[in-house]
Structure 1
């Protein structure tokens, strides 16, 4: 599996992705908002985009579909309940379905509601496990639930699926928010050594050449994966004095998301 991360350099700080089979040159485009850059990268690599996967229905993830389809004839894949929300959808997928790219690439669909209720993450198994997480899991952060989402479902997606991924899973999110997310981590957990160490490396960084984190690293500095940290809970109780001394993880997640909304 070859992964090409494409930095759009737009105001939303989107990442687009091409996943290619090294044997056939067939490629899957994930959320190809910047259709021109995606098509150009494919041409330079000698790849043929045959499929598009939209992680969810928001325009900054689907807006390039039509141009890519017009140029390549690619089939559009998305959550099985997104048919009325994504124009020209050819295939609806659900948890456990597999998307095959060429001869060698197989990607498992995870149904991860929360940011929206029709959100898919893609998981690559094998020697180089990876997660293409859309707007569910960000580097050092979690998606919002402002436009058709639900925070309880987002917590469940984290707790029951993402938090159980192996430590060596590489994380490929839909946006570059790592600097601001690390600053939020340090506001909520001032003694987080991993966040302190990484923040200078990503401050004002070139997002086109940004680091790729692993799930193991995320567990050290992503506040939304540190729900039982005494430091996180202590800071949270200062912001929300009515919280019990040992709030349950879902409550911690919900309150963190509430604070992040205003950050």
Structure 2
């Protein structure tokens, strides 16, 4: 199995180090800062082979050039973002695969937050590194694309196996949960999860990773087909993509 280390950075970012013990290969996902990555590499005696970027925002690519200079790693990102990713070496598209030892990550194209956003899915380890497309009980803001495009992207992630662990790039869970309760106040699983989130954050512990199964039960952006949610936002019987767009608009102004 891959070893995954979660590194907090900046105010609420997470950087992930993904290590294959057999080959010794290591990848850094969305490194905002170099120092936390370099410290772990030195402590563990690991060699950084790849940087895997999900999109071009500075809090996801900020350490690209420094890490490349110090480790000689290869930087991989979405092909359509080739002019926006510092130091990018390899561009990938939907369905491409990236090998980390004998493990492989499938690339899924998930525009919505940005037009070039991609995610990395290690099926054999049930691990999804989803950047800012999907959060625990939330999804990314629509900076460069439409609600319909984000909805279509999220449908891909909803279809992944229920046990898939969601390694998103930000600790936004408490705020997301408060909004989720505002649009689905009678969701008992959501209320229970809010209590658990508050307990974890009171101890300064991460709420990430989540799972697809948990998100299907509690994430409003996965629950556009919920009659109770539709009723709360006065969209009963509306098309799923229209319900999603309304939820996203409400969250933007929450």
Number of aligned residue pairs: 251
- 8 Å CA contact 2:135–2:168 kept in 1: the answer is yes
Matched, 1:262 2:253: yes
1:149 Cα deviation after fit:
2.9
- 8 Å CA contact 2:24–2:47 kept in 1: the answer is yes
- 8 Å CA contact 2:184–2:228 kept in 1: the answer is yes
1:132 Cα deviation after fit:
0.5
In the alignment, what sits opposite 1:150? 146
Which stretches in structure 2 are left out of the alignment for 5+ residues?
A: none
Q: Secondary structure of the residue that 1:81 maps to in structure 2?
A: helix
Q: 1:246 aligns with which of 216, 237, 252?
A: 237
1:229 Cα deviation after fit:
0.9
Matches within 5 A, 1:95-174: 95-101=94-100, 103-126=101-124, 128-146=125-143, 148-159=144-155, 161-174=156-169
RMSD, aligned CA: 1.3
- The CA distance in 1 between the partners of 2:203 and 2:142, in whole Å, is 28
Deviation digits for residues 94-143 of structure 1, max 9, x if unmatched? 01111111x222111001111111011000112x3111110000011111
- 8 Å CA contact 2:82–2:88 kept in 1: the answer is yes
- The CA distance in 2 between the partners of 1:208 and 1:72, in whole Å, is 30
- Normalized against structure 2, the TM-score is what? 0.95
Distance change in 2, residues 1:22/1:177 (3 Å): same
In the alignment, what sits opposite 1:234? 231
Deviation digits for residues 203-232 of structure 1, max 9, x if unmatched? 234555435211001101000111111111
Distance change in 2, residues 1:201/1:100 (3 Å): same
